[in-house]
Amino acid sequence: MANENDSIEIESEKEKELYTGLVEKGVNNKLQHQQSLQHNRQDMDQTQEVDVKPSQMNFQKIDLTINNKIENYSGRISGCVQRQANGEIVSGADIYLYFGSGAEFPVCRIQSDVNGNYCLGDLPPGYYTITAKSGEMQCLVRNIKVLPGAASDQTLLLVQRIGYSLHAYGTR
């Protein structure tokens, strides 16, 4: 930057008019560098103006609905355990609940009642996996979505599997 005592070499008549106008208005080189437009002169006698302080505005519309009518945000998964081959109800089937899509460490274990029904309640919202086993029959259901305050009905159909097992508490 040039001080007030420095001499400035002006090449063109246009630059001389611009500089003279700025000096007459009391504008010095420091302020000139802070302005939004920057004048560049290239080697091929081409002049271009570049906006060095562009303005940008971003708008986002967000709709937020708060429903305070739900008193209990936990959900539940319930249903019936049946044989897939004949639709027969299976009582006393072991049912394992896993958080997410994995089937390694169950977060809950229950048994179906005498009517083959089961209910897993007080579940935080999210995705769950259920495995069920009774003797040599078993079933696997993944990605059951539990919403806040909602119930998910899931019938578990057990199939006979030979040479295949699900991991449940380390048993095969």
Complete domains list, the chain, with CATH:
13-51 (no CATH), 75-160 (2.60.40.1120)
- pLDDT digit string, tens, across residues 104-132: 889 999 999 999 999 999 999 999 999 99
The DSSP line for 117-145 is: EEEEEEEPSEEEEEEEEETTEEEEEEEEE
Q: What is the pTM of this model?
A: 0.54
The pLDDT tens digits for 13-48 are 666 666 666 555 554 555 544 555 555 555 555 666
Structure confidence at residue 149 as a pLDDT band (50, 70, 90): confident
* pLDDT (tens digit per residue) in 63-111: 776 666 667 788 999 999 999 999 999 999 999 999 988 778 899 999 9
Alpha-carbon distances, residue 166 vs 25, 88, 113, 127, 162 (angstroms) = 85, 22, 22, 19, 12
Residue 11 banded pLDDT, cuts 50, 70, 90: low
